[in-house]
């Protein structure tokens, strides 16, 4: 190994007792490849097995906690106890290669395609369509339904514990339901779940409290709870960096085991709510660094990129598309073979890279997402 990269391979303990073998995380990435009934497919098992040998921690693609929250075709489920054997298969595949397995749990809210849910019943905090789904006006959730979804997150966490995962990540990013309640764009409520920023925080924090309660009751081994969030929204009104700093302070007070910042570019600057003297990640680090570990992500392509990101002060660096193109990305750096890391795809690479067909079709048919030669 190049001595300069040794910091990437230092162990890290999360939650007081869960030791990661290095500082590299496989980022959560949707692969569209589960069965129609919500169970994990053999192709997904092979895909994760191929990529779980190097990273210290693997965060799965998001899984829905209730049937009305399914966000994508080919998404796997954590909405009933019947799904526990399926969930266990995936946990075993990841852990069998030496990585810690984290189940990302979510509800799609207004981002859910109507065809995927019963009677096309798309729900959210308020009846505000999303820019991505402009023709679908969601139905505002009732107070009783909100309380039920909070419990659903807790039950999905219990299933993750029983299936053998090392933790869960609450998906409060990318415009899904948890973020919809925090956002002044999608949340126009005037009850206890909306209005002031403190009231808009009520739903995310209630989910955190319920998940942590379930962990305390059911986990007999170390089990961590993380939270992923998007620091800003493009809409006006929308989440600003000022709002996000309130969010991360509130999350840090809940003693979460990590915060995962969802970014396309690790070094991106704020749009509004904080000045451009610092990157978004630096602002977040200044507010909660030392109180809760931070995972940074976004356009980290090389070993040098990862090292520079780690040196910024984050505890962990997440890698996404690089692990699709080069499943041995981590191992090649550790073995001093970083010059052998592949950075492009060819149309004949699918079998060699062990990529499920639905994901492969998404890659090939999305120009600019990957360099395909």
Write down the residue that tokens 């690089």 correspond to: 322
DSSP state for residue 269 in the 8-state scheme: P
Write down the residue that tokens 């299936």 correspond to: 163
Is residue 255 left, alpha or beta, with left meaning phi > 0 and alpha meaning psi from -120 to 50?
Answer: left
Is residue 290 left, alpha or beta, with left meaning phi > 0 and alpha meaning psi from -120 to 50?
Answer: left
368 CB neighbour count, 10 Å cutoff = 6
Look up residue 252 and give its two tokens: 């840090």
Look up residue 71 and give its two tokens: 């966000």
Q: Which position among 165, 176, 227, 258 bears the catalytic label? A: 176
Strand partners, 14: 18
5 is catalytic: no
Of residues 142, 14, 159, the one with CA closest to residue 84: 159
- Count of helices and strands (H, E) across the chain: 13, 12
- Quick check: 277 and 297 in contact, CB under 8 A? no
d(CA 129, CA 231): 20
Look up residue 13 and give its two tokens: 């303990």
Active site members: 176
């Amino acid at each position: 190994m190049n001595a300069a990269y040794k910091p990437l391979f230092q162990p890290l303990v999360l939650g007081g007792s869960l030791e990661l073998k290095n500082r590299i995380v496989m980022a959560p990435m949707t692969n569209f490849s589960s069965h129609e009934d919500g169970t994990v497919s053999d192709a997904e098992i092979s895909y994760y097995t191929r990529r779980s040998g190097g990273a210290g921690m693997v965060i799965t693609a998001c899984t829905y906690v209730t049937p009305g929250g399914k966000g994508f075709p080919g998404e796997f489920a954590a909405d009933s106890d019947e799904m526990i054997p399926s969930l266990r298969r995936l946990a075993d595949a990841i852990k069998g290669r030496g990585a810690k397995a984290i189940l990302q749990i979510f509800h799609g809210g207004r981002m859910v395609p109507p065809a995927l849910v019963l009677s096309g019943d798309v729900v959210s905090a308020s009846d505000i369509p999303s820019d991505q789904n402009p023709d679908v006006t969601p139905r505002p959730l009732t107070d009783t339904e909100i309380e039920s979804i909070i419990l659903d997150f807790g039950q999905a966490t219990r299933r993750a514990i029983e299936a053998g995962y090392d933790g869960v990540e609450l998906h409060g990013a990318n415009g899904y339901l948890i973020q919809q309640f925090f956002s002044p764009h999608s949340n126009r409520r005037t009850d206890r779940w909306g209005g002031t920023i403190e009231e808009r925080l009520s739903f995310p924090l209630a989910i955190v409290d319920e998940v942590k309660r379930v962990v305390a009751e059911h986990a007999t081994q170390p089990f961590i709870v993380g939270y992923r969030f998007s620091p800003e929204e493009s809409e006006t009104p929308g989440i600003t960096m000022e709002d996000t700093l309130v969010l991360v302070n509130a999350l840090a007070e809940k003693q979460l085991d990590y915060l995962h910042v969802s970014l396309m570019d690790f070094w991106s600057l704020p749009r509004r709510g904080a000045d451009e003297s610092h990157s978004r990640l630096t602002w977040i680090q200044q507010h909660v660094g030392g109180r809760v570990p931070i995972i940074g992500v976004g356009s980290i392509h090389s070993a040098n990129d990862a090292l520079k990101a780690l040196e910024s002060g984050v505890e962990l660096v997440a890698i996404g598309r690089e692990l699709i193109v080069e499943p041995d990305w981590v191992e090649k750096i550790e073995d001093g073979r970083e010059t052998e890391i592949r950075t492009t795809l060819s149309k004949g690479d699918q079998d060699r890279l062990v990529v499920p067909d639905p994901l492969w079709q998404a890659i090939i048919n999305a120009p600019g997402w990957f360099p395909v030669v």
